[in-house]
Amino acid sequence: MFGSRLDTDGKTRSERTKRHVNPGHSSKEETLVVGGGIIGASVALALSRRGASVRILERAEPGGLATHAAAGILGPMNETDRPGPFLDLMRQSLSLYPGFVAGLIEETGLSPDLVLDGILSVAPTPSDRAALKARHIWQRAIDPEVTFLEGAAAKELEPALTGTVDSALWYPREGHVFAPRLIKALFGALARRGVALEQGVQVVRIQPEPSGTLAVIDDTGGTRHARSVVLAAGAALSAIGIPGSPVRIHPVNGQILAVRSPGSFYRRVVFYPPHGYFVPKKDGTVVIGATEERIGGRTRVTPAGLLDFLTPLAPLAPDLLSLPLHHTWSGLRPCSEDALPVLGPLPACPNIFVAGGHYRNGILLAPVTGEILADMVTGQSSPLTTLSAPFSPGRFNGDPSKKFLTK
């Protein structure tokens, strides 16, 4: 079920589930990953595959803040307005996806329904056409397979587009995955590898110790000691007290829904202006989203929010709006001050690593984030760590001209 397990900060400790999977004994040689969402799980798996001793601390349900809410789109080209390091990072992660998923299926037998059969970005009216053409020019220089289509050709690719479509861009190698199944498969793989998951542990503070290790303190005052820590606490990352950390992550609420189609004849992910999309899933549901609202650390679903992306959908794909409503939900995207990922060690404490701020693209960026963080924590430099250099937490302190990247 999509996003049905949203976390709340208001729960008392006794209300939170206390569950330890493979608890073992924590040790000063371990890496502790704080947060069991898609990012924490991917980092833990990559670390475990490199032979590192790793344990996940999760305050509630793994992935409950954002991962379970995600539409699962893997679509780099629609997520930025220009070429540059962010697009490079997303495209690199997309290229890792088939191997990432194949490894999970091999280890667990669980399939997260990866589909890479193309994404459309449509211009509903002639006045939207020029913007699409401008995108096509810079994007085809990066990927010659990006194609400009007239409306009729776009409608052939996606039967839900029975309304007005002027033109479209076609990204034949992009697609989507079923995020709740992906995280289930990740935790299946982690359990098989003996990686410990401690559930019901809310980390409140991390303190460097004179010996060079870290004290990781939870809300009961309990302390674990670790060689290194990876912060993967999603939209709640900034609530963890860390001396001198320049990283601020803000929660951005996303409202989203699913309708149930009678068969599986809808096929492609479609982006439509100003910021809507729909995603036909293999199980016959069509996910339609999503809002972006800065309303603090709470989630909400409102009729006005749903209208925000349903109203522009009506002239494009009217049949979708007549399908039975299956489910509505919302989740909290983790957004940094420049809306870009934050990857790497904290300048003031190099054995605390941030894996955060994935905002609209944490599902897409999970494979590359896992590899990058695992390389960093185990002290290896690689082409991927070079690729991640612009996303260092250090950009938020020091030279103000380097403070913000451009998305």
Ligand X SMILES: Cc1cc2nc3c(=O)[nH]c(=O)nc-3n(C[C@H](O)[C@H](O)[C@H](O)COP(=O)(O)OP(=O)(O)OC[C@H]3O[C@@H](n4cnc5c(N)ncnc54)[C@H](O)[C@@H]3O)c2cc1C
Site of interaction with ligand X (CB under 6 A): 7, 34-40, 57-60, 62-67, 69-73, 201-203, 232-236, 240, 254, 256, 289-290, 331, 333-334, 358-364
The CA–CA distances, whole Å, from 185 to 38, 112, 141, 181 equal 10, 7, 36, 6
Question: Among residues 54 and 363, whose Cβ is nearest to ligand X?
Answer: 363
List Cβ neighbours of 322 (8 Å cut-off, separation of 6 or more): none
Residue 150 beta carbon to ligand X: minimum distance, rounded to whole angstroms:
27
Region at 149 (left for phi over 0; alpha for psi -120 to 50; beta for the rest): beta
Least distance between ligand X and beta carbon 187 (Å): 11
Give min distance, CB of 228 to ligand X, in A: 16
Instruction: Write down the least CB distance from residue 131 to ligand X, Å.
Output: 22
Minimal distance, residue 151 CB to ligand X, in Å:
25
CB of 140 to ligand X, least distance (A): 23
DSSP 100-132: HHHHHHHHHS-----B-S-EEEEE-SGGGHHHH
CA angle, residues 182, 344, 214, in degrees to nearest 5:
95
Please say which residue, 140 or 392, places its beta carbon nearer to ligand X: 392
**Is the distance from CB of 122 to CB of 316 less than 8 angstroms?**
yes
Chain position whose Cβ is nearest to ligand X: 37
Report whether 62 contacts 38 (CB < 8 A). Answer: no
* Cβ-based nearer residue to ligand X, 37 or 393: 37
CA separation for the pair 35, 52 (Å, rounded): 18
Per the listing, tokens 């695992």 go with 374
The rounded distance, in Å, linking the Cα atoms of 226 and 353 is: 12
Separation between Cα atoms, residue 318 and residue 159, nearest integer Å: 11
Q: Which is nearer to ligand X, 65 or 151 (CB)?
A: 65
- The least CB distance from residue 108 to ligand X, in Å, is 19
Residue closer to ligand X, measured from CB, 184 or 358: 358
Of residues 139 and 202, the one with the C-beta less far from ligand X = 202
By C-beta, is 37 or 124 nearer to ligand X? 37
Neighbours of 219 (CB within 10 A): 14
